[in-house]
Amino acid sequence: MKAIIPVAGWGTRFLPATKAMPKEMLPIVDKPVIQYIVEELLDADIYDIVFVTGRHKRAIEDHFDINPDLELHLEKAGKKALLEVVRKISYLAHPIFIRQKEQKGLGHAVLTAKPALGAEEPFIVSLGDIVIKGLNSVRELVKIYNRYGKSVIALFRVPEEEVSKYGIAKVRRIDERTLLVEDIVEKPSPEEAPSNYAVVGRYLFTPSLWGKLEKTKPGKGGEIQLTDAIRELLQEEAVYAFEVPYDSVFDTGNKLDYLKTVITFALEREDLREELKEFLREKVENL
């Protein structure tokens, strides 16, 4: 099974930092966001990864490529641990890069990857700015797909005032772990939202989605929405879901949540924890 990671967006929320650097390359301490996404896929035995990029995303390609000069430098310097870190991500992933020439929405980005996947196999979509911590959501997608043979999406419950930021699903519980999606809508108002179950940026689709994407017209924001294609897919076949705990989801696509992500991950590092905790205590006391 292959995976798609759409990474062609401009990252305007982080300008001017993202003028020359993709937002997916922003570091969570010392590892870029995109590497967490790829490592989750690798841990789920998904090695063939299609990156849907733009003309300003060359740094992502370089990050997952081999860097002989850097490796030689680290080897000569005796920095074996760092050498292993650098080599691991380059050699394990099998990246394919396809350029989205026009940014017409998430649905269009996924459709752009079709030539690299073929039309007969199921596939994963992982968004490049959502980090899920504490569980491998991709493994869960595959487990449910293997049980039912249908598309599966990951959801998490958000506060009602946040539903307008996400695709929101109406669901019915099947068992302790599995939900059945009955409807889905892109960024509804709190009054229009069918629930507070928000799409969390991890999907597994059957090939049936391709036909729906090809017929999906621009929707919210004038873009081709993946949510709209899923809604059409529901008219023909079942779509399943599972719930990810709210505190396991880290959205690095906006400044405040990005900062929360960096602090949370840094506090779990043995080499940083105590000094960072002391720094934060001093800052809080001085507020």
Encode the chain (287 residues) as per-residue pLDDT tens digits. Answer: 899 999 988 888 899 998 889 999 999 999 999 999 999 999 999 999 999 998 888 899 999 989 899 999 999 999 999 998 888 888 888 899 999 888 888 999 999 999 999 778 999 999 999 999 999 999 999 999 999 999 999 999 999 988 998 999 999 999 888 999 999 998 999 889 999 999 999 999 999 999 999 998 887 777 888 999 999 999 999 999 999 999 999 999 899 999 999 999 999 999 999 999 999 999 999 88
Nearest to 136 by CA among 231, 41, 69: 41
pLDDT in the model for residue 44? 95
For residue 251, the cross-strand partners are: 130
At which residue do the structure tokens 């017929």 appear? 215
For 173, list phi and psi in degrees, rounded to 5.
-75, 130
Q: Which two tokens stand for residue 14?
A: 């982080």
CB 153 within 8 A of CB 31: no
pLDDT in the model for residue 228? 92
pLDDT in the model for residue 169? 93
User: For 267, which DSSP code?
Assistant: T
Question: Half-sphere exposure of residue 34, counting CA atoms within 13 Å on the CB side?
Answer: 26
| Sequence spans of domains, the chain | 2-250, 254-287
Domain 2-250 class, CATH top level: alpha beta
Give the CA distances from residue 83 to residues 29, 87, 138, 217, in Å, rounded to whole numbers and listed in that order: 18, 6, 28, 47
Give the CA distances from residue 240 to residues 14, 151, 173, 193, 202, in Å, rounded to whole numbers and listed in that order: 34, 6, 10, 19, 12
Q: Which two tokens stand for residue 201?
A: 């940026």
